[in-house]
Amino acid sequence: MLSTKTRKLNPTLLSQAKFANEPAWLTDMRQAAWQKIDELTLPVFDKVDYHTWPLFEFAEKQTPVTADPTDLLDPTDHYQFVSVGKRTVKNDLAAELTDKGVILTDMQTAIRDHSELLSEYLFQKAVKFGENRLTAVNAALMNGGAFLYVPKGVEIDQPIDLMQVQDSRGKENFVNHTLIVAGADSHFSVLQRLTTIGDQVNPAHVTVEIVAEDNSYVKFSALDTLGENTYAYYNRRGYLENSARIDWTMGVLNDGSTVADFDSDLRGDGSHTEMQTVALSTGKQVQGLDTQVTNYGRHSEGNILQRGVLLDKSTLIFNGVGKIIHGAHGSKAQQENRVLMLSPKAHGDANPILLIDENDVIAGHAASVGQVNKKQLYYLMSRGLSKAVAKRLVVRGFLGVVLRDIPVADVREQMVDMMERKLSHEQGTE
């Protein structure tokens, strides 16, 4: 297999990705990104060598669309938006929200009906397509996704739920881009559920941009359960203006190998982000998760919390970066990275980094890699629990600090079910 540093992409991929009747500004951006792909470098994930992964093994002849998976889509009543591959199968926003100017639609419809608005934000603030080779690939080959726009002053009580399914029943490219714009003084929650149907080997490129304008608040949660034969790159970015806040809660429970950038740029004074991630790695799975908060604004605050569990011969690397730019007076940057080892053959690491270029700040970090606490196990087993049940309870408690922030009860239960499935696998190999 060729290294992704040198692999050439077939130009036909660019024409395949284009939406019908897309505007000139988007076509021009695609072309500019495409021309940069070969000259840009890949992002570095410390202690993870992903260069031989088939992240660029895009299908040049894609499998025709098949019937929608009813068994997967039946329990999606509370989702406002559902897509399978490039196709949107549900888009049902409450009339009271559309009356307030809220927009929720697939990317192709957004480009057709809201082109001028979209062009103000897509690859303009949170993510720039020329950052690295993977961002350029997403800009050039984007073929699906969603657009959520919440106007100034609108508050939404119930979460906006998005389900986006990678269709791997055949060879199909999944280059998904979700753009979320929070107008000034708006408040709302978003849940993104990503999963795979089918078992073909396919790459997945998933980007989420959140632009939080002055004094807005976005609570973003994600449940990632892509398939075992999926090699995935996630890029979730936040751009926060004055007094804006984004709270991120992400459950990385994929079965395949994954690299991810989870970043927030605190551009405005008084902006604030909480970035929380849980991850489980099993089998021979490799996951490298980079989380970075950059403080630009004065009195801005960014906190990182990452917790992971490793089983079997898997690898999980947490890289956390807190960066305070010169001039960001009164800012705060804290992070905590903890990894729990359930197998002596697994490889885990937690690498906290602080890059501080200002004196008037508060910054700190904590990191640990260790095994299940034997005293906790002994206590639970002394109360009549088996070792397997006791271990599962300890793990659930270890991850619970993040799980409790998932806003939808059904999704919390789904996340716990996924954890139980992976833990049951580990117990079966003991």
Instruction: Give the pairing type, strands 230-240 and 272-281.
Output: unpaired
Helices (H), 49-104: 70-73, 95-98
Average pLDDT value for residue range 15-42: 94
* Residues 124-143 pLDDT 10s: 999 999 999 999 999 999 99
What is the rounded end-to-end Cα distance, in angstroms, of the chain?
34
CA 342 to CA 301: how far, in whole Å? 34
The b/e string for 156-194 (b: 16+ C-beta within 10 A; e otherwise) is: beebbbbbbbbbbbebbbbbbbbbbbbbbbbbbbbbbbb
Residue 93 maps to a domain: yes
Q: Identify the bridge partners of residue 82 per DSSP, sorted by sequence position.
A: 90, 163
Residue 287 maps to a domain: no
What percent of the chain clears pLDDT 90, i.e. is strictly above it?
73
pLDDT of residue 4: 42
CA 209 to CA 430: how far, in whole Å? 41
What percent of the chain clears pLDDT 70, i.e. is strictly above it?
95
Domain count, the chain: 1
What is the DSSP secondary structure assignment for residue 1, as one 8-state letter?
-
Average pLDDT value for residue range 363-389: 84
- Per the CB < 8 A criterion, the answer to whether 72 and 342 are in contact is no
Give backbone dihedrals phi and psi of 17, rounded to 5 degrees, phi first: -80, -25
Q: Is the pLDDT of residue 7 over 60?
A: no
Average pLDDT value for residue range 112-126: 97
* Residues 253-279 pLDDT 10s: 999 999 999 999 999 999 999 999 999
Number of other CB atoms surrounding residue 76 within 10 Å: 16
> How sure is the predictor about 410, in pLDDT bands with cuts at 50, 70 and 90?
confident
Average pLDDT value for residue range 175-202: 96
- Per the CB < 8 A criterion, the answer to whether 366 and 335 are in contact is yes
Q: Is the pLDDT of residue 402 over 90?
A: no
Residue 309 maps to a domain: no
pLDDT of residue 101: 98
Q: Identify the bridge partners of residue 211 per DSSP, sorted by sequence position.
A: 181, 239
More confident residue, 63 or 142: 142
Closest CA to 306 of 314, 315, 316: 316
In this structure, what token pair is assigned to residue 346?
């697994």
More confident residue, 60 or 332: 332
Average pLDDT value for residue range 180-191: 97
Number of other CB atoms surrounding residue 133 within 10 Å: 21
Average pLDDT value for residue range 299-325: 95
Average pLDDT value for residue range 3-18: 76
Average pLDDT value for residue range 277-286: 92
pLDDT of residue 425: 60
* Residues 26-35 pLDDT 10s: 999 999 999 9
pTM (2 decimals)? 0.94
Residue 296 maps to a domain: no
Residue 181 maps to a domain: yes
Residue 84 maps to a domain: yes
Residue that has been written with the tokens 């002994």 in this structure: 378
Domain containing residue 32:
12-267
Closest CA to 55 of 73, 37, 67, 72: 37
Residue 361 maps to a domain: no
pLDDT of residue 2: 34
Residue 320 maps to a domain: no
CA 244 to CA 91: how far, in whole Å? 28
